[in-house]
Amino acid sequence: MKVGFIGLGNMGLGMAANLLKAGHEVTVYNRTASKADPLVKQGAHFAAQVADACRGDVVMTMLADDPALEGVVFGGAGSNGNASVLGSLSKGAIHISLSTISVALSKKLTAAHAERGQRFVSAPVFGRPEAAAAAKLVVIACGADDAVSACAPLFDAIGQKTFRFGTDPADANLVKISGNFLISCVIESLAEAMALVGKAGIDQHQYLDFLTSTLFAAPIYKTYGAIIVDKKFEPAGFAAPLGFKDNRLALAAAQDLQVPLPIASLVYNRFLTLLANGGEKLDWSAISQLAAKDAGEGQKSA
Amino acid sequence: MKVGFIGLGNMGLGMAANLLKAGHEVTVYNRTASKADPLVKQGAHFAAQVADACRGDVVMTMLADDPALEGVVFGGAGSNGNASVLGSLSKGAIHISLSTISVALSKKLTAAHAERGQRFVSAPVFGRPEAAAAAKLVVIACGADDAVSACAPLFDAIGQKTFRFGTDPADANLVKISGNFLISCVIESLAEAMALVGKAGIDQHQYLDFLTSTLFAAPIYKTYGAIIVDKKFEPAGFAAPLGFKDNRLALAAAQDLQVPLPIASLVYNRFLTLLANGGEKLDWSAISQLAAKDAGEGQKSA
Amino acid sequence: MKVGFIGLGNMGLGMAANLLKAGHEVTVYNRTASKADPLVKQGAHFAAQVADACRGDVVMTMLADDPALEGVVFGGAGSNGNASVLGSLSKGAIHISLSTISVALSKKLTAAHAERGQRFVSAPVFGRPEAAAAAKLVVIACGADDAVSACAPLFDAIGQKTFRFGTDPADANLVKISGNFLISCVIESLAEAMALVGKAGIDQHQYLDFLTSTLFAAPIYKTYGAIIVDKKFEPAGFAAPLGFKDNRLALAAAQDLQVPLPIASLVYNRFLTLLANGGEKLDWSAISQLAAKDAGEGQKSA
Amino acid sequence: MKVGFIGLGNMGLGMAANLLKAGHEVTVYNRTASKADPLVKQGAHFAAQVADACRGDVVMTMLADDPALEGVVFGGAGSNGNASVLGSLSKGAIHISLSTISVALSKKLTAAHAERGQRFVSAPVFGRPEAAAAAKLVVIACGADDAVSACAPLFDAIGQKTFRFGTDPADANLVKISGNFLISCVIESLAEAMALVGKAGIDQHQYLDFLTSTLFAAPIYKTYGAIIVDKKFEPAGFAAPLGFKDNRLALAAAQDLQVPLPIASLVYNRFLTLLANGGEKLDWSAISQLAAKDAGEGQKSA
């Protein structure tokens, strides 16, 4: 397929490379143009403007947050003088949004593209940069059936599995946001359990090994359990301000739907505490240190 | 080995049967004697008194809670006129406590047995009655190395895997209690996520399928996710008052160690709410209904 | 003084009337013009346009929320075609914002007025409509010293007491917002205490009488205690959606300052629960019913 | 009246002195006998044994906690070889319990005294040692009407006002416990508000002055507001471990009644955090430092 790709950060770089490997014709755009160099060497076309990445059947966007995506799609303040995706995409063409954005923006994009006869598919992904590079992402795809089906080869190129949750693009974003919320629950609950067994003098590695070889034998417990026990919060795989952003996306979606999420509120306060105490460079799982500190870690024992 | 077994409830019955199958000589005692009948048919000796179950190398206890175990071990109010385990066990013999009891009681038992030259091994188990019947329990064993090693054949007979956490018996209980705490975190977090995606109209079964085939591919998410989505809270696999008891064991252990556990406090209030509103017959995972009710489930939509 | 007054709701009407009584020359504007009628009968000038209320030394605004005030001050979407306050006010003239708005908007207004050589005083008020009508409001005033001093006669006309918190207008808004946060804490704490003593069968009126004649002898405990005990949530003195808005203003200000407010988070979830269950017409203190419901009020006793 | 007084701590000393001043014949007992000296000089009889304080119409007890009171009333482990109040008091005589004890113990005492034909009045008090010395306590009295009425002169001697809440002694304890819970809510809410306005640079003294001269003009806000703003946590007027004990009394009473108290749970975790971090010598209001620390107090600003 002929596809544009906008946003060549840690995640986007791997995804675009995998699209090339799968044989697609890819035109890449990034605000800082030099990021495109390795992809161009691998055969990608270089787009000097956003509009240049919007001339194919599909344009994929992988950007940091709502304002970044809004700038690219709607133009205006965040556009850096570029023509917008909205103004550049031809009728019937598809915009695939891969970013973790708000449910509200997803609804706004759905309406805006529909108005111009363009198609919109929301397809946020689960996975860290390593997974993006290895084409091992999990893709959540929502949108009109024909549009999502048309994009299947692209999803196959970047991920290990695609889940479809119906035709409303915003649902994909809610699934992504609620998934990240569940991960934050794993972090906080492991933090509390580790503070407890650790203060009793139980070996935390052994405890984690027990958990993850029995009832909690899931990737997420293994990954975050190891980070928490080893306190490997630097370099940040997913920095605290980003984790906080996703926590607020969950709270915002829940507020719109009038759904109280007490654990999300608790995690919200953990993030505020972490950031207020100098943790902005740490991995988001560093909120786990707060349970340990509250339990007196670092204090002299009586 | 020559082993006594005290406590033939849903869990104990399966465990004692598996000890017999493995070729051990088992003497069984239960307050309601008739419960022993099927085991006697399978070759067990019948103990009319607690003391009769204490004449071998090992006596195993599997009882409902702290007071039940205290009555049997120390005699007194809860003993029903029986001689106590403490008074009946010979020097060097081992008491294996399989029950989910408090860290404080475990410490008390450790001291009491040591005083009499008896050995104490704490070995609480993870698994529901089906797992007990199938010898698929996970055993957490703590105590003096030689004592735990001596009991290994017994653990092999009842479980699929044994984890050892050092020589302090109370540590096994803390691992068990904190494990149940982590399960309660899974229940509450799934409840909140399901309330959120459910109110947005997303199919909860499909959502659960996504979770448990990717990041959250752990037995505990599958088991409880299904119960929560299907609202199958009756018959209770593990009744709310028992879940509440375990939640309080976690809070009590944490209080003694001065470790705040905010999610445990949240779950504590969920249990109080559930029980105050008529939920004492439901499975403990029925606390998940509260997140849904707070989100207005059952309300007419605007 | 020659003063314009914009916003003739329940609060503004009483305030503007008191300015007239105190002998000031008042020009009134309201989007729904007929609301101005009683004031015109009392001697006010009628302003057909926002600009007409901006020709004196001072213009006061008393509007519902951030968007309403932004529309009037900056024009644009919310302006109904009116020239903006910003464009109409002469150099050196003072804009007094009486509304409960966000700290962020207050900062934005401060900068915008300064840019045009206008002066900005933030002066949110405590008190219900009855207090506004009786000139019994408590005024929190912040801004440049000379500006606030110049406005003193106006504050005297509408309130019983004025508190000055320095020269940054946004501080007045934070004081107002945090004051409302403290009121919400009184409501929630009384709700919990009442649920407790009420379930024990203690007379709640007698209990409230005890509280408010001793340690808690403050107006706020008397006012809200009576509403809570009598469940007089209709008609709403201050409706739940407005209380929720103020709760979110507190959380927003605290987020910007990186200050966790756990009780505010708890109250946030109470509001979501109340609104998700049909409480949008009730007084904000109806969040107190949730503590009672969680405790099983309405359930048959065992 | 002829009255015994057991427990001459900071509170009991002042109360017994005021009983003497009011002309009652007082026999005083304290475990550390020398504490009685100043009272004997003021005309009190000295009781070498608990039983010696139980020979009059009334015996009053003012002890630190449940175990201390249980030891004195029931004898046994905590009795130091003394005959018990229960065994020493004559039929028809009254035991007035002034201590802050659990609802459960109050019920047990009610039953035990009734069994022996003795009368039991529960009369916990509000007020610090200064108030006890000045006869300014607030007394909450519950028990059989004739018994409470008979004790009225004693309450008048020690307090400024007596509130009666019916005939069940345990109700007095619940009123006391819930009152202390409400005080803890004031501390926590002020702590959060102060963290917020303080981080914004607003003068906290001025803010407190505003609060306590308007909506929150109650003694409790003045007292604790000043301690919090000035961080005067030493010497402790009411030490953190005692505050924590009362918090747990509230949670225990609420658990028995199945009433969730989310703010009490929050305060519970604050106390654990304070004690785990070396705060056991500080006033209970030092939990207010935690909100400030979470907000980054002491951190270098960005």
- The two tokens of residue B105 are 């009681």
Q: Which residues contact D188 (CB under 8 A, 6 or more apart)?
A: C185, C263, D263, D266, D267, D270, D287, D288, D291
pLDDT attached to residue B80:
67
CA nearest A130: which of A218, A204, A197, A219? Answer: A219
**Distance between CA atoms of residues C38 and C57, nearest Å:** 23
CA nearest C224: which of C242, C238, C245? Answer: C238
Phi/psi-derived region of residue B92, left when phi > 0, alpha when psi is between -120 and 50, beta in every other case = left
Residue reference for tokens 């976690």:
B250
A176 in active site: yes
- The two tokens of residue A111 are 């309406």
What are φ and ψ of residue C119, in 5° steps?
-110, 145
Residue reference for tokens 């808005």:
C245
Q: Smallest CA–CA separation between B218 and chain C, in Å?
A: 30
In tens, the pLDDT along B55-106 reads 999 999 999 999 999 999 998 765 666 789 999 999 999 999 999 999 999 9
In tens, the pLDDT along C97-108 reads 999 999 999 999
Amino acid at A8: L
**Distance between CA atoms of residues D8 and D61, nearest Å:** 9
pLDDT attached to residue A302:
43
**Which residue in C276, C278, C294 is closest to B273 by CB distance?**
C294
pLDDT attached to residue B302:
42
Closest-CA residue of B relative to C199 is: B276
**Which residue in D258, D269, D273 is closest to B265 by CB distance?**
D269
**A196 and B221 in contact by Cβ < 8 A?**
no
pLDDT attached to residue C302:
42
Q: Smallest CA–CA separation between B98 and chain C, in Å?
A: 33
pLDDT attached to residue D277:
97
Averaged pLDDT score across all residues of chain B: 95
In tens, the pLDDT along A170-224 reads 999 999 999 999 999 999 999 999 999 999 999 999 999 999 999 999 999 999 9
Q: Which residues contact B260 (CB under 8 A, 6 or more apart)?
A: A291, A294, A295, B254, D268, D269, D272, D273, D276
In tens, the pLDDT along D48-106 reads 999 999 999 999 999 999 999 999 999 876 566 678 999 999 999 999 999 999 999 99
Report residues of chain A scoring pLDDT below 70.
77-81, 300-302
**B259 and A190 in contact by Cβ < 8 A?**
no
**A196 and B296 in contact by Cβ < 8 A?**
no
Beta-bridge partners for B2: B25
Per-residue pLDDT band at D302 (split at 50, 70, 90): very low
Are A212 and A225 in contact by the 8 Å Cβ rule? The answer is: yes
Q: How far is CA B23 from CA B8, B19, C127, D18, in A?
A: 19, 7, 81, 77
Are C140 and C168 in contact by the 8 Å Cβ rule? The answer is: no
**Distance between CA atoms of residues A216 and B241, nearest Å:** 24
**Distance between CA atoms of residues B181 and B190, nearest Å:** 14
Give me the half-sphere count of Cα atoms (radius 13 Å) on the Cβ side of residue D254: 30
Q: Smallest CA–CA separation between B291 and chain C, in Å?
A: 9
D115, pLDDT greater than 50: yes
| Interface size between A and C, measured as CB pairs under 8 A | 35
Given the residues B176, B222, B231, B281, the one annotated as active site: B176
**Distance between CA atoms of residues B34 and C134, nearest Å:** 80
pLDDT attached to residue A80:
67
In tens, the pLDDT along B197-225 reads 999 999 999 999 999 999 999 999 999 99
Average pLDDT of the residues in B246-275: 98
Report residues of chain C scoring pLDDT below 50.
301-302
Taking chain C, what is the end-to-end CA distance rounded to the nearest angstrom?
68
Per-residue pLDDT band at D298 (split at 50, 70, 90): confident
Q: Which residues contact A292 (CB under 8 A, 6 or more apart)?
A: A191, A194, A195, A198
CA nearest B170: which of A94, A201, D64? Answer: A201
- The two tokens of residue C134 are 């009786």
pLDDT attached to residue D186:
98
Element (H, E) at C104: helix C103-115
B298, pLDDT greater than 90: no
- Most C-contacting residue of A255, A267, A275, A293 (CB-CB within 10 A), to test interface: A255
Average pLDDT of the residues in B288-293: 98
**Distance between CA atoms of residues C297 and D247, nearest Å:** 23
Q: Smallest CA–CA separation between A19 and chain B, in Å?
A: 22
Are D100 and D127 in contact by the 8 Å Cβ rule? The answer is: no
Q: Which residues of B touch D (CB under 8 A)?
A: 254-255, 258-262, 265-266, 268-269, 272-273, 275-276
C-contacting chains (≥3 CB pairs under 8 Å): A, B, D
Q: Which residues contact C298 (CB under 8 A, 6 or more apart)?
A: none
3-state DSSP of B177-198: HHHHHHHHHHHHHHHHHHHHHH
**Which residue in B179, B217, B264 is closest to A218 by CB distance?**
B217
Amino acid at A114: A
**Residue C274: Cβ within 10 Å count:** 27
Q: What is the ipTM of this complex?
A: 0.95
Domains of chain C with CATH codes: 2-167 (3.40.50.720), 174-294 (1.10.1040.10)
**B268 and D273 in contact by Cβ < 8 A?**
no
Given the residues A21, A35, A161, A176, the one annotated as active site: A176
Per-residue pLDDT band at B115 (split at 50, 70, 90): very high
What are φ and ψ of residue B141, in 5° steps?
-120, 125
Lay out the sheet containing D25-29: strands in order across: D45-46, D25-29, D2-6, D58-61, D94-97, D119-122
D196 interaction partners in chain C (CB closer than 8 Å): 174, 178, 181, 250, 253-254, 257, 259, 261
Residue reference for tokens 């997974």:
A131
Beta-bridge partners for A133: none
Q: Which residues contact A114 (CB under 8 A, 6 or more apart)?
A: A120
Are C125 and C96 in contact by the 8 Å Cβ rule? The answer is: no
CA nearest B129: which of B62, B177, B70? Answer: B62
Mark B1-10 as b/e (b = at least 16 C-beta within 10 Å).
Answer: bebbbbbbbe
| Percent of chain B at pLDDT exceeding 70 | 97
Taking chain D, what is the end-to-end CA distance rounded to the nearest angstrom?
68
Element (H, E) at B50: none
In tens, the pLDDT along B269-281 reads 999 999 999 999 9
